[in-house]
Structure 1
Amino acid sequence: MRPLLVGLAALTLLASPVFAAEPAAAPDRPLPDAAQEARAQALFKDVRCVVCQHESIADSPAGIAGDMRQRIREEIASGDSDAAVRDDLVKLYGDYILFTPPVREGTWLLWFGPLMLVVLGGLALIAFTRRQTVESTPLSPDEERRLADLLQTETVRPDPDASAPHDGR
């Protein structure tokens, strides 16, 4: 009985990825009017797939992309304008759904953030290059003589952990 339960558990674990996969998108049914279908195809390229996120719904094989294509076709067939279709999608999914979101207060950071980073980086670079270096004053003859004396003696070294080659270590 125990080997049967172990085998059944193993089969369940192996089959679970198959059941977890997203169902395939329903086949697309183009609109009968060629002008309306052309409008729909143009909109498909402007709308981001919420599953793939880097593909438009025109290229995405995800099931939700197929549902979104069908929804757009239905709205166009009912007489909605392209702007109305986009507005409807933005209401459902937010500005992220469009590859080119509108410029408004909520998207200023998206549109102007990279430009501001470049400007700030340029200003920082200019400030860094214009920063004046501190000139060190030359040593006085007395200080040079004392330095030469210190370097001649073996008791003072620049690094206390350093060893000279003749120390025998």
Structure 2
Amino acid sequence: MCTGKCSLFIAVSLYPLVLISIICNIVLFFPGWDAKYAKDGHITEEVEYMGGILGGGIIVLIAALCINLTGEQGCCGNRFGMFISIIFAAGGAIGALYSFIVALFGLGSGPLCIHDGAWITPFKTSNWGYLTDSKSWGECKEPPNVVQFNIGLFATLMVTSCLQVLLCAAQIINGLLGCMCGACNEKEEA
């Protein structure tokens, strides 16, 4: 496969992952599917870091757009274009890593919820034990089902950002090949 076509494949693969990251982070602002918790400031602090919107969303989107433009310049684009795509792919990988780290901390801390009449993060010191102890999830009285809500969305962000890092790393390798080998010249059919 030509490095330009590979760039197009990587870019097209990144677009849905960007959308998933942004949607997951936006939905995390509405625990229990209710806007009142965000309005009152009762959301997990990791949600406010917006790893899915900024890192896995905007930064990876910018990288995907650049990678896409590189792939559309013909079979391999040019060496300079492939070099620029390496820089943007590295930036995309950093953005995806940011999203992963924020989601990891969000999953580790657990949700902000009403526990014994106060808004706290009851699982922050559980060393991840709450993830396998579904009986303890009932400790969070409000928002309803917030533990499952946070686990599902933060885990989705982690998987999505891992895929983004892998795709950006693939583009870095692809871009290096494009820089070193130059354009592949396909013979045009008459």
User: Shorter chain as normaliser: what TM range?
Assistant: under 0.3
Task: Say which one has the larger Rg.
Answer: 1
- The two structures have a TM-score, normalised by structure 2, of 0.25
As a proportion of its length, which structure holds more helix? 2
- The two structures have a TM-score, normalised by structure 1, of 0.27
